[in-house]
């Protein structure tokens, strides 16, 4: 293999790697957008069907970024158009992930409020039937005494 052939093969492999990364980013962005739409409807984060697939794709993306940072994988793109597509997709993913973060935080806060409301109702119900007062002593019960007029 000549040096020119090796460079073409390397460039083709690099382009294929970039195209694969763009496809991964597109899939991840679509999943995040779908999750954001469901969160916008008020669905609890624990009931979202995208979580496992989103986590899997995010893990692959993170691994690729870590390999690039470590220098074990190179993403040098000679094709300007392909480089611009990659940058555009990364920016779209960032916007979707920023929105996702805001929506997930809101969903978690809403879940915490629901949990607190349930816990408060349970505490009130327990307090209403408990024979003990706040001091730990037997609480005096209000007793109704009346007279009967029928005799």
What's the pLDDT score for residue 61? 92
What's the pLDDT score for residue 110? 87
Range of the domain at 27: 3-129
What's the pLDDT score for residue 16? 86
What's the pLDDT score for residue 127? 78
What's the pLDDT score for residue 90? 94
46 belongs to a structural domain: yes
Task: Give mean pLDDT in consecutive 10-residue pieces for the chain, a chain of 151 residues.
Answer: 59 81 96 92 76 91 88 77 92 96 91 92 84 72 58 52
72 belongs to a structural domain: yes
150 belongs to a structural domain: no
State the total domains in the chain: 1
What's the pLDDT score for residue 59? 94
148 belongs to a structural domain: no
67 belongs to a structural domain: yes
Burial profile 113-125: b = 16 or more Cβ within 10 angstroms, e = fewer:
eeeeeeeeeeeee
81 belongs to a structural domain: yes
Instruction: State the Cα–Cα distance between residues 20 and 14, nearest whole angstrom.
Output: 10
149 belongs to a structural domain: no
pTM: 0.69
134 belongs to a structural domain: no
């Amino acid at each position: 293999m000549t040096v020119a052939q090796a460079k073409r093969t390397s460039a083709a492999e690099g382009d294929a790697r970039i195209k694969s990364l763009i496809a991964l980013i597109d899939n991840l962005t679509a999943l995040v957008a779908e999750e954001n739409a469901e969160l916008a409807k008020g669905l609890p984060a624990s009931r979202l069907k995208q979580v496992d697939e989103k986590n899997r794709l995010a893990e692959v993306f993170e691994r690729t970024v870590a390999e690039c940072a470590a220098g074990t994988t190179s993403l040098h793109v000679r094709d300007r158009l392909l480089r611009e597509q990659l940058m555009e997709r990364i920016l779209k993913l960032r916007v979707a992930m920023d929105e996702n973060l805001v929506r997930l935080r809101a969903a978690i806060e809403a879940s915490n409020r629901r949990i607190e409301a349930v816990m408060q109702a349970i505490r009130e119900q327990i307090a209403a039937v408990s024979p003990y007062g706040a001091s730990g002593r037997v609480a005096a019960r209000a007793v109704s005494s009346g007279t009967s007029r029928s005799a």
